[in-house]
């Protein structure tokens, strides 16, 4: 299967700890997106990359959040000093930024629980 | 900014009933519109899309028409099945030509449960 993969699928951490999630997009897709989904809500945009460049960050993304895509392939999302409000599903999606390439392919998500 | 509003759920139907899930949007310009579906335990999947006014997206018996005059993209299916039970999300994306191309804004989702 060559879809979008995310690791880990579940993460339980204590408040104040740092966590890092990984996303592996579909190999030929040059745009990669991170979203956050809380219970009963739709996904909310966090940030996206075109190749290795981070082109946009949401105001939802506080200074405790950082994302990288160092070689334009996989991406990591790190949350420092986690808070209970960070508990959510973190989704990654990829797309090829050519005309007509509108469908975003989503990974299964990483569910974060901060205790 | 862009926003999407979906009818509140949950929606509970009997098999073979007609389904409508309302979706309206606010956006600058001419966005593309999508319906995504999330089956229990699975990731988001694209159900259908429409890229310009009056386009009709369709897939698996579901349809939605891009209505610019009413800024709506309602999802319909003539006869639902138990296997259609899932969460449905309406979403929009700016069209090509800007850096925000491809970035999705979602509605809050509508839970559909279909009983035999």
Dihedrals φ, ψ of A46, to 5°? -110, -55
Chain B neighbors of A88, CB-CB under 8 A: none
Provide the residue-wise pLDDT of chain B in tens; the chain has 116 residues.
Answer: 889 999 878 999 999 999 999 999 999 888 999 999 999 888 899 999 998 899 999 999 999 999 999 999 999 999 999 999 999 999 998 876 555 667 899 999 999 999 99
Which chain B residues are closer than 8 Å to A97 by Cβ?
A: 101-102
State whether B51 and A104 contact (CB < 8 Å). no
- Looking at chain B, which residue has its C-alpha nearest residue A54? B99
Distance (Å) from the C-alpha of residue B18 to the closest C-alpha of chain A? Answer: 24
pLDDT on residue A84: 96
Residue of A8, A63, A11, A54 lying closest to A31 (CA atoms)? A54
**For residue B8, what pLDDT is reported?**
79
Q: How much is the pLDDT for A12?
A: 98
Both tokens of residue A40? 């009963």
The B-side interface with A (CB below 8 A) comprises 4, 32, 34, 36, 42-46, 49, 51, 89, 91, 93, 96, 99-109
SS3 A63: coil
Per-residue model confidence (pLDDT) at position B52: 87
Task: State the best of A7, A42, A58 to mutate against chain B, taking most chain B CBs within 10 Å.
Answer: A42
Tokens 């335990």, located at residue: B41
Interchain pair B106, A104: CB under 8 A: no
**3 state SS of A85:** helix
Question: Which of A 57-96 lie inside 8 A of B, CB atoms?
Answer: 91, 93, 95
Q: How many Å lie between the alpha carbon of A88 and the closest alpha carbon of chain B?
A: 14
The answer to whether the CB atoms of B104 and A48 lie below 8 A apart is no
pLDDT tens-digit profile, chain A (115 residues): 579 999 999 999 999 999 999 999 998 888 999 999 998 899 999 999 999 999 889 988 889 999 999 988 999 999 999 999 999 999 999 987 665 556 889 999 999 999 9
CA distance A66 to A78: 5
Name the residue among B42, B104, B108 with its Cβ closest to that of A104: B104
Note whether A85 and A66 are within 8 A (CB): no
Residues of B in contact with A40 (CB under 8 A): 108-109
Give the model's pLDDT for residue A95: 87
């Amino acid at each position: 299967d060559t879809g979008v993969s995310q690791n880990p699928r579940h993460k339980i951490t204590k408040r104040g700890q740092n966590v890092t999630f990984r996303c592996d997009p579909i190999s030929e897709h040059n745009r990669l997106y991170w979203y956050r989904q809380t219970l009963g809500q739709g996904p909310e945009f966090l940030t996206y990359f075109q190749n290795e460049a981070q082109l946009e960050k949401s105001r939802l993304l506080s200074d405790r959040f950082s994302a990288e895509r160092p070689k334009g392939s996989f991406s990591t999302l790190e949350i420092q000093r986690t808070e209970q409000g960070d508990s959510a599903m973190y989704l990654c999606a990829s797309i090829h930024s050519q005309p007509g390439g509108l469908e975003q392919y989503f990974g299964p998500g990483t569910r974060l629980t901060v205790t | 900014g862009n926003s999407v509003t979906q009818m509140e759920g949950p929606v509970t139907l009997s098999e073979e009933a007609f389904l409508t899930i309302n979706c309206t949007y606010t956006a600058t310009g001419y966005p593309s519109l999508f319906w995504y579906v999330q089956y229990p335990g699975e990731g988001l999947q694209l159900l259908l899309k429409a890229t310009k006014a009056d386009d009709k997206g369709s897939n698996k018996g579901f349809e939605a028409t891009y209505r610019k005059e009413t800024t709506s993209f309602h999802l319909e299916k003539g006869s639902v099945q138990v296997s259609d039970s899932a969460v449905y999300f309406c979403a929009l994306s700016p069209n090509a030509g800007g850096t925000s191309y491809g970035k999705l804004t979602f509605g809050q989702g509508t839970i559909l449960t279909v009983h035999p």
